[in-house]
Structure formats: C-alpha cells, structure tokens
C-alpha cells in the first residue's frame, strides 16, 4: 500500500529499532527481555503479526515493554480518522514500535516513545500514507537538568527538518498528554506529531527515524543519573500514586490504546504500557514545601525547557 517508503523498508527499520533499544536497555539493567512473537489467527478481523518484548522485575526497570506490530484491517477505527473523516471505514495497514519503561527508582522517570506509519485508500482509490510518533517524559520527582536534556535531544533530532518542528511538536505534546478530567499534564512533555505527511513520504519517514534514533541518547543518561539514588517508603508511595495518573491517561485519553482495542488488536501487547503496580488515594494532598509538591509547582506546568 505504500508508494515510496515500501512496507519492507519501514518494517525492517522498525524491527531493527526495537532490537537496538531493547538491547541497550537490557545491557543497562542486566536483565533479559522476554521475546513474544505473535500472529493474528486466520479469520480474525485484524490480520498481521508482531514482536512484543518485555522485561519485568529487573535491577533497574520494574517493567519495560517495547512492542512492534504490523497489521491490516478492513476498516479504520474512529480513533484513527479524527482528522481524516474521508477515510472513515477504509481498509488500512499500520505498523509501528511503541514502548513504555517504568523504573524501580522513583527518582528515575517513566518514559514513552511511539513511532508509526498508517496507510489507507481514500474514496478516489488513492493511497494515503501518514506518520505519527514522538516521546515524552513523566517524572515522579523532577530535575530541571533532566527535563532540559530530554527536550534538547528532541529539539536536536528535529532541527534538520525545519526550525518550526520542535516548538510546534512540543506544543502538540503538551496539548495531547494532558489529563483533561484532572486539568493536569501527564509529565514534562517532549514532542508529539500525528497525521503527518507534509514533508513528502521519504522526508516524513526520515523525520520519524530522526526522532526514534534520538531516543536512547535522550533517556538513558537520565536513568544513569537517577537509578542508584537512595529512596524510602515515602517516595515509593508517591511513585505508585503518580503511576495511577499514567494509567488514567492511557485508558481514558490515549488514541493509540483506543486504536489498538477498537481495531481488534492484541490486548496484552496494547496494554504493555501499564505499570506493574499503581495506587489511588481519595484524599492525597502534597504538603507545601515538600519535594512532592514541587512536582506540581515546577514540573507539571507548561514551560520552555530549552
């Protein structure tokens, strides 16, 4: 279905990306990713295959999931056609890599990255391809140097594709990763883009690669700085409480989760982003002047980090 960036080219890149990322994370953690290769059964609405890799109970990461999927379906679900109503119900092809890493240490932030390509036939029979993705950081305890490093990495990755891309995609990320029912950002953001094809097929795919290839350099130095910091029950309890917000966003607002579930995707692979443990408290209030309150006052606010 792809006219210039062939499915074989995109698929090869994404599988290699998954392998590079999980290899680097396993080397840092010392653990091993479980590799689950799957294929949709004949007769199911959605057809395709993928590779789910997950590390649980490691020395550094409590849960680190990274999945590749390549699927075809008879009808695009509503979550994929918000901005392309003319493609509602069209046959489609989609492939991507999505990851979420939840470290043990509350001082090490959770991170999310996703890159994807979708294609469908419009009513005139023409193939329409578009790209999406980005990455964002969700600290439990914020550090300005970490936020600046992460955002600078995002900005540098997008610089070759136009000076407008980072500020535009940062704003898009701030708008998207927002818990509307709580009037609260999910974290300190990063970059996010969707329904993107304005640079043409090859250059748009190049931009996707630029973002994805910058991920390890954006995130792993932060984990190295924070993974061995001392913490106690107070920090752990706050970490689990904040993870509850992460779960809320993914289940209530995330278009990727909705797309996977609405299109008949593989549930366990779709929900690999969930933390192994989370909590909710009806009366939680962070006392003024505490490190917990600083998260809300200094980091869960819109800010130019670079």
Q: Which residues are catalytic?
A: 112
Tokens linked to 169: 């995609």
CA-closest candidate to residue 69, choices 93, 51, 53: 51
Residue 198 has, within 13 A of its CA and on its CB side, a CA count of: 8
Strands (E), the chain: 34-39, 47-56, 61-73, 92-103, 110-121, 127-138, 178-179, 184-185, 189-196
d(CA 63, CA 277) in angstroms, rounded, equals 10
d(CA 201, CA 252) in angstroms, rounded, equals 32
d(CA 50, CA 97) in angstroms, rounded, equals 10
Number of CB atoms found within 10 A of residue 267's CB:
10
Angstrom CA distances, 148 to 153, 173, 188, stand at 9, 16, 10
């Amino acid at each position: 279905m792809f006219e210039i960036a062939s499915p074989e080219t995109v698929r090869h890149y994404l599988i290699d990306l998954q392998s590079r990322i999980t290899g680097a994370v396993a080397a840092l953690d010392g653990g091993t990713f479980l590799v689950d290769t799957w294929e949709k059964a004949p007769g199911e609405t959605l057809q395709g295959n993928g590779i789910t890799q997950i590390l649980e109970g490691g020395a550094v990461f409590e849960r680190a999931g990274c999945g590749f999927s390549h699927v075809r379906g008879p009808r695009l679900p509503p979550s994929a056609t918000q901005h392309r109503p003319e493609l509602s119900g069209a046959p489609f092809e989609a492939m991507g890599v999505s990851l979420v890493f939840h470290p043990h240490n509350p001082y090490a932030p959770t991170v999310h990255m996703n890159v994807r390509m979708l294609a469908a036939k419009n009513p005139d029979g023409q193939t329409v391809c578009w790209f999406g993705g980005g990455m964002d950081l969700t600290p439990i305890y914020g550090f300005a140097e970490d936020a600046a490093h992460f955002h600078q990495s995002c900005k540098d990755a997008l610089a070759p594709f136009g000076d407008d891309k980072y500020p535009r995609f940062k704003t898009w990320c701030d708008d998207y990763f927002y818990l509307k029912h709580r009037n609260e950002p999910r974290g300190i953001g990063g970059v996010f883009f969707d329904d993107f094809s304005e640079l043409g097929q090859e250059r748009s795919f190049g931009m996707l690669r630029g973002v994805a290839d910058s991920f390890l350099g954006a995130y792993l130095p932060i984990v190295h700085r924070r993974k061995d910091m001392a913490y106690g029950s107070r920090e752990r309890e706050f970490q689990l409480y904040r993870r509850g917000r992460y779960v809320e966003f993914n289940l209530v607002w995330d278009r990727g989760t909705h797309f996977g579930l609405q299109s008949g995707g593989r549930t366990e692979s779709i929900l690999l982003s969930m933390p192994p443990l989370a909590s909710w408290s009806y009366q939680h209030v962070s006392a003024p002047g505490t490190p917990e309150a600083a998260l809300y006052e200094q980091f869960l606010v819109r800010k130019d980090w670079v």
